[in-house]
Amino acid sequence: MFEYLKKSLLTGVGLALRSKKEIEDLAKEFAKNSKMDQDEAKDFLKECQQKYEDAKADFDKKIEKTIEKILLKLDLPSKSDIKTLNDRIDNLTKKLSDLK
């Protein structure tokens, strides 16, 4: 049962959606209730914190990729496209000023 609860606590999306403090509190409570010794509890807490960081990073990457796909489908100009256009406008404006 301990392994089942541990795996449930460490699942990806559920873990990423919880706050770090909430995860630490859950891990501490779980360690206390499962009667772990102090070293096991520290290791478990460290593992929970690492899994949290990994899950959060993975979740953030998935969100970024989804947003990129949406922006591509919307066919919006990128920052570099806009910069290129602004540079061309600046060059043309300068040329027009020079002609006057």
Mean predicted confidence (pLDDT) in 18-23: 71
pLDDT given at position 87: 97
3-class SS string, 9-49: HCCHHHHHHCCHHHHHHHHHHHHHHCCCCHHHHHHHHHHHH
pLDDT given at position 49: 78
Helix, strand, or coil (residue 56): helix
pTM: 0.48
Question: Confidence band (pLDDT; 50, 70, 90) for 3?
Answer: low
Kindly report, residue by residue over 51-97, the tens digit of the pLDDT. 778 877 888 888 888 888 887 888 888 889 999 999 999 999 999 99
Residue 9: pLDDT over 60 = no
